[in-house]
A = this chain, B = another copy of it.
Amino acid sequence: MTFNIQHTDRLSSARAGIMQTDHGPIETPIFMPVGTQGTVKGIHQSELEHVIKAQIILGNTYHLYLRPGTDILQKAGGLHKFIAWDKPMLTDSGGYQVYSLKGMRKITEDGVKFQSHVDGSKHFFSPESVMDIQRIIGADIVMAFDECTPYPCEYKYAKNSMYMTHRWLARCIYRMDNTDPIYGLHQTFSPIVQGSVYPDLRKESAEFIASQDQEMNAIGGLSVGEPHEDMYAMTELVCGILPSDKPRYLMGVGLPENILESIALGIDMFDCVLPSRNARHGILYTKDGLINIKNAKWQDDFSPIDIESTAPTSRIHTKAYLRHLFKVEELLAGQIATLHNLSFFLWLVSESRRRIIDGTFYAWKNSMVKSVSQRL
């Protein structure tokens, strides 16, 4: 994998780059739609490519390990072939999902024992086994197996957890270095900075991660409930330490305003379930802020959902129609809203990129942050 920075903003740390993977290029900054179980909910792969213009999507190791399972995925020739997606893909390590199984998992130095949320069956994830599973899934980018601390998190817990994440990282890297991609295509490995909202821990973690000299780096444990100022402070601190010539991925972030501010801090990659999850509940993102399309005020509003959307369905269909679809609980409601929100997020990052290149990013970002934060 190569990463070339084409332009760096004069007024911020924002940069426009291109990552080159064996499944093609990724123009950064980029937002990655989440396809947990081998599908971005309610969206066809052709719509991901041609409507949303996704350049890379996410899969989830925990979910894919349970269903369809590694046996089916390996027989299929990997996740790309299984779901018919020929562009770049990243797999989350499943750490976050496993830790979410409160009362159904036990963390030790070895790894994590857990019970499947599907059938209660018992399983064990270690840094090694998670790397092996990600080899079988075959994504272009595979994530380290880490512990994502919650918010709030006691200093002592955050510190011990961070050290364990670092020890697990060594085991992940060793496993990756001693195994080969199964399908012949290169897999980039990404370590993850932790340390909760404690500056000294974030600094120590970022320095440790930077010293590993991997092809890219990620920041985890943010967007878990902490104030936005903490998110930005930690991101700025960590971006100042992680090498500037490698992609930086801020995991699980977030709101449009978070993405814009984080781009300005030097982040290149984002993912978040919110635009797709909120879409299925009728929450739409626009340049002028959030809309709850289920509100009665839209019932006879026959203007387009969003005349400026890059999604044709948002230009063709009216707010009144989309509201009706939600009120009668039709599948098309979530489909139209998901296309809308993901198209908006991809527009947001591509417009950021365009403006970084032409030198108009910073002022636009400041006005856009105000605009997208509104609640209509």
Contact = CB atoms under 8 A, between A and B. Distances in A.
A332 interface: yes
Main secondary structure on A side of the interface with B: helix
A363 interface: no
Nearest to A325: B39
A317 interface: yes
A76 B300 CA distance: 8
Interface in A307-348: 312-313, 316-318, 320-321, 324-325, 327-328, 330-332, 334-336
Report the contact-size class of chain A (Cβ under 8 Å from the partner). 35 or more
A237 interface: no
Given A68-B299, A76-B302, A332 B39 contact: yes
A47 B331 CA distance: 14
A335 B44 contact: yes
Contacts of A63: 328
Given A44-B313, A300-B75, A316-B84, A331 B328 contact: no
A148 to B, nearest CB: 23
Interface in A26-63: 37-39, 41-46, 63
Contacts of A316: 45, 84
Interface string A80-103: 011110000000000000000000
Contacts of A318: 76, 82, 84
A76 B317 CA distance: 12
Contact of A335 (B42, B75, B76, B330): B42
Contacts of A42: 331-332, 335
Contacts of A81: 302
A320 B39 contact: no
B330 A67 contact: no
A302 B45 CA distance: 17
A72 interface: yes
Interface string A204-225: 0000000000000000000000
Nearest to A330: B39
Contact of A37 (B38, B46, B72, B330): B330
B67 A324 contact: yes
B332 A44 contact: yes
A222 to B, nearest CB: 28
Contacts of A38: 321, 324-325
A330 B300 contact: no
Contacts of A313: 44, 46
16 contacts: A38-B321, A38-B325, A42-B331, A42-B332, A44-B313, A44-B336, A46-B312, A67-B324, A68-B299, A68-B327, A71-B300, A72-B300, A72-B320, A72-B324, A76-B300, A84-B318
Interface of A: 37-39, 41-46, 63, 67-68, 71-72, 75-76, 81-84, 299-300, 302, 312-313, 316-318, 320-321, 324-325, 327-328, 330-332, 334-336
